[in-house]
Structure 1
Amino acid sequence: MKKIHIVGLGLLGGSFGLAAKNKFTDIIITGTDVSEKNLQEALNLGIIDEAKDAADADTDIVILATPADALGDLLLKTLDQIGANTLVFDVGSTKAKLCALVADHPKRKQYLAAHPIAGTEYSGPSAAFAGLLDRKVTIICDLEKTDLQLKEKAYKLFDALNLKLRFMDPEEHDRHLAFVSHLSHISSFMLGKTVLQKMEDEKNIFDMAGSGFASTVRLAKSSPAMWAPIFTENKDNILSALDGYIANLSAFRDNIAASDGQALSDDMTEINKIRDILDLEK
């Protein structure tokens, strides 16, 4: 692994850069960002060694880490530009549209559809850190459509960064992510909105909010520039998830309105089973 080029130098792109530098001492990392401020910050923080608009012909891997709505055009442009021995992978939260978009591209074998399940509520190059990706799951879609030798470059990087690989088809990926990731962010944003609307005194929010509120609303601090495109790109799956969520909220509200404590308790007891599922990885 000699050379990596990163497009989008925020939390994920920056963390890939810092982690790769920790693992490959002789690596050269170039990059670009639509924000001149982010680009300069990435240079100052040592995330990249040099600012470049496009990857050199001998680049091993190009990482695309931009908002979801920019990835389609960027992926096509990047595939058109890269050398024969360069692999491109993106880190976007939606995959079906991207995989369909490049299905007939002459350089399709040079693309790997990847999604590291990693992040924080913070954004920008200053939020990046080398340990973000350690032991995180990375979903790979349509693996068989990527060139065997180029896949080895990705495996070398993923193994060095201690990523755990899982494999799905793109539609399955987008459907599952709508429920376990995208819906979580919507819930957090809407909880934050509801509290802000009803508690105009910010001091009361600060004084009365316990750890439960803080952990539940944490995702509402996430970047709107990143999440608005995800919600629209995965619209159909997210609408399905929201319909189920709203129906469950309405039923729960009805039980509260009816003072039906037993129904509430039974419902929450059933939901407690999620604890066993989430504890499996511990």
Structure 2
Amino acid sequence: MKVHIIGLGLIGGSFALGLKKAFPEVEISGSDASEEHLLKAQELKLIDCAATLEEAKDADVVIIAVPVDVAKKVALQVLDVVGNNTLIFDAGSTKAGLCEAIAAHPNRRNFLAAHPIAGTEFSGPEAAVETLFLQKTNIICEVEKTAFKLQERALEIFQKLGMRIRYMDPASHDRHIAYVSHLSHISSFMLGKTVLQKEQNEKDIFDLAGSGFASTVRLAKSSPAMWTPIFQQNKNNILETLEEYINNLSEFRELLKNDNFQEVFREMERTNHIKTILNGIN
């Protein structure tokens, strides 16, 4: 199997490592807008060689792992040149805009819109993890628009990498992801900002921060270059979730101001139900 990966950061690099483990005979070429990333990916043996899209147009699989603001343009470029038997899939965190952009392309049947819900706060080829996708959910959108034989190829790859599959329409995907992923990143960034503003002594932050703070603010170490386009692409859904989040914070503040700690307790007790929902997630 010949695979070409566009974007050799955390996600693209992790696909490369996972595929090498799951398919020992795989040949992986890669490309990246950053020459530094491309060289590092070769040095780390994430890919076997660098290749242009023109050189990789006859690959069995093309994986698009670039920021969502350029994914639409890249997807159209790939669809323009690939052959009938090439599977293309992406791994972006927003789906509605991408699916709309490629809807009328004559090679739409080659494309599978996917979103593996996996990642870390780190970026670049060095961040790649062989088992990143193991036991993670992969959301697939508009599967019916992908050629059946290419669906089968994609599902074989996803299953060999240990992913759970969930099917969803693009609009529902973007709405749900705004709550369970995008909002948590905004919360983390803003918590980090608040602490940096109020705790001017960095040594105090380092010495006093416990595991709770570290885990809550972990996502604030994520790449702004990746997350700013995500917030832009999913702006309307994120604004809706932010309104609800801000309202909940305001209500909690009022409970504290009014010394209503009995209701504070009840609020937290009700929210403890999240433990049941999240039980078993890695």
Alignment TM class, shorter chain as reference: over 0.9
| Residue of structure 1 in register with 2:173 after alignment | 173
Contact 1:60 1:153 in 2 (8 A): no
Deviation at 1:48, TM superposition (A): 0.6
Aligned-residue Cα RMSD (Å) equals: 1.0
Letter in 1 for 2:34: S
Cα distance in 2 for residues equivalent to 1:257 and 1:151 = 56
How many Å separate the matches in 1 of 2:150 and 2:210?
49
Q: TM-score scaled by structure 2?
A: 0.98
Residue segments in structure 1 that go unaligned for 5+ positions in a row: none
Query: What corresponds to 1:102 in structure 2?
Result: 102
Deviation at 1:280, TM superposition (A): 5.2
What is the one-letter code of the residue matched to 1:157?
I
Alignment identity in percent?
A: 55
User: Could you tell me which amino acid in structure 2 is paired with residue 98 of structure 1?
Assistant: L
TM, length-normalised to structure 1: 0.98
Q: Tell me the distance in 2 between the aligned counterparts of 1:265 and 1:221.
A: 31
Q: Which runs of 5+ in 2 are unaligned?
A: none
In 2, the alpha carbon distance for the partners of 1:280 and 1:56 equals 40
Following the alignment from structure 1 to structure 2, what is the Cα–Cα distance between the partners of residues 211 and 177?
A: 26
**Alpha-carbon offset, residue 25 of structure 1:** 1.4
Kindly state the Cα deviation for residue 156 of structure 1 after the two structures are TM-superposed: 1.6
Q: Secondary structure at the match of 2:152?
A: helix
* 2:18 alignment counterpart: 19
**d(CA) in 2 for partners of 1:57 and 1:187?**
41
Runs in 1 of length 4+ with deviation above 3 angstroms? none
Cα deviation digits, residues 46-91 of structure 1 (max 9, x gap): 1111111215243111000000101011111110011111011000
Q: For 1:237 and 1:281, how far apart are their aligned partners in 2?
A: 24
Give the aligned length.
281
Q: Which amino acid aligns with 1:80?
A: D
Q: Say if 1:7 and 1:31, in contact at 8 Å, map to a contact too.
A: yes
Task: List per-residue Cα deviations over 1:224-260 (Å, max 9, x = no partner).
Answer: 1100110000000000000000010011011111111
Confirm whether residue 34 of structure 1 aligns to residue 33 of structure 2: yes
- Alignment match, 2:239: 239
Give secondary structure in 2 for the equivalent of 1:112: strand
Offset of residue 24 of structure 1: 1.2
Structure-2 residue corresponding to 1:163: 163
Aligned position for 1:6: 5
Structure 1 position 281, deviation (Å): 4.7
